[in-house]
């Protein structure tokens, strides 16, 4: 039994890219799901955020002042909803967030997404733009209309916390974060050097928290 388990674990490790490719595809963006997210009520979301003490880590306004914590203010509701769902079911894992998301039901997540989308996002500071940003922006530009978006709802990067951007790109690169549909971000980051990741994080991000 013990032996079989070890073998199974080994198999999981050696075929992790295949699993990473399969698992996230269980989440599908459909017109029904877009409509569901659009039905979120920001006021109700504000109350749910208060009950769940999201501000303990994300602050009242959703703007992070901690290098390890992302800003969620002004992010697309669709993306926020998907991340909460992913933490809730364990497709994306991080101790604090997994704990916070476990307690939420689907309606909570829809309203929370509506609430944080409405909050004001910090400005991006900018900096030297590596050539590759053209590629990134083909999916990440906030002007992209979601309904025509067959690239499956990429989050807004501008104004995000720099250290978090770097951490989460590294997590995709190391395949510690594997909740991206069709392994899109895992493939993109795979080709980036650590230096490029730092530069991209600096470019898109806002000033570092004090
Ligand atoms: C104890 C601290 C803590 C609490 C409480 C908390 N979060 Fe988080 N949250 C985090 C951390 C840390 C991350 C980054 C996880 C990672 O690095 O993968 C995160 C990530 C997120 C993300 C993903 C953002 C992105 O850009 O991918 C969303 C959305 C989110 N939190 C929403 C919430 C909501 C809504 C609540 C309240 C129900 C909440 N969080 C409560 C710490 C917390
Ligand atoms: C083919 C489309 C596509 C391209 C090209 C792309 N991304 Fe992404 N990216 C996505 C999607 C979709 C997600 C959301 C994944 C998920 O569901 O968690 C994402 C997520 C991210 C995140 C996580 C943000 C957060 O708040 O946690 C970062 C950072 C990121 N991308 C950076 C980049 C950078 C930098 C580039 C260019 C080098 C790039 N991406 C190119 C589609 C793309």
Q: What angle do CA 63, 65, 70 make, to 5 degrees?
A: 60
Residues found in the chain = 210
- pLDDT tens for 157-191 read 999 999 999 999 999 999 999 999 989 999 999 99
Distance CA 84, CA 206 (A): 23
Q: For residue 185, give Cα distances in angstroms to 56, 89, 127, 176.
A: 29, 20, 22, 12
Tokens of 65: 């002042």
Look at ligand 2, atom 14, and give the residue with the nearest C-alpha: 154
Decide if 46 contacts 119 (C-beta within 8 A). Answer: no
Look at ligand 2, atom 27, and give the residue with the nearest C-alpha: 168
- pLDDT tens for 102-144 read 999 999 999 999 999 999 999 888 878 888 999 999 999 888 8
Compute the average pLDDT of residues 31-60.
Answer: 96
CA of 51 to the centre of ligand 2 (A): 30
24-33, 67-76, 196-205 — which is least confidently predicted? 24-33
- pLDDT tens for 76-100 read 999 999 999 999 999 999 999 999 9
Distance CA 21, CA 15 (A): 10
Q: Which residues line ligand 2 (CB under 6 A)?
A: 70, 82, 132, 135-136, 138-140, 151-155, 157, 160, 165, 168-169, 179-181, 184-185, 188, 200
């Amino acid at each position: 039994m013990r032996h079989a388990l070890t073998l199974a674990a080994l198999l999981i490790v050696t075929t992790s890219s295949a699993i990473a490719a399969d698992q996230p595809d269980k989440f599908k963006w459909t017109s029904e799901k877009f409509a569901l997210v659009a039905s979120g009520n920001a006021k109700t979301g504000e109350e749910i955020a208060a009950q769940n003490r999201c501000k303990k880590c994300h602050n009242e306004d959703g703007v992070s002042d901690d290098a390890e914590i992302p800003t969620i203010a002004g992010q697309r509701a669709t993306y926020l909803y998907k991340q909460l769902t992913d933490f809730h079911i364990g497709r994306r894992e991080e101790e604090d967030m997994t704990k916070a998301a476990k307690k939420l039901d689907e309606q909570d997540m829809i309203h929370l997404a509506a609430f944080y989308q409405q909050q004001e996002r910090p400005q991006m500071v900018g900096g030297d733009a590596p050539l590759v940003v053209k590629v990134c922006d083909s999916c990440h530009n906030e002007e992209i209309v979601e309904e025509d978006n067959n690239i499956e709802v990429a989050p807004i990067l501008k104004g995000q916390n720099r250290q978090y951007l770097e951490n989460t790109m590294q997590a995709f690169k190391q395949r510690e974060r594997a909740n991206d549909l069709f392994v899109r971000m895992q493939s993109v980051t795979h080709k980036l050097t650590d230096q490029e990741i730092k530069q991209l994080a600096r470019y898109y991000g806002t000033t570092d928290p004090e």
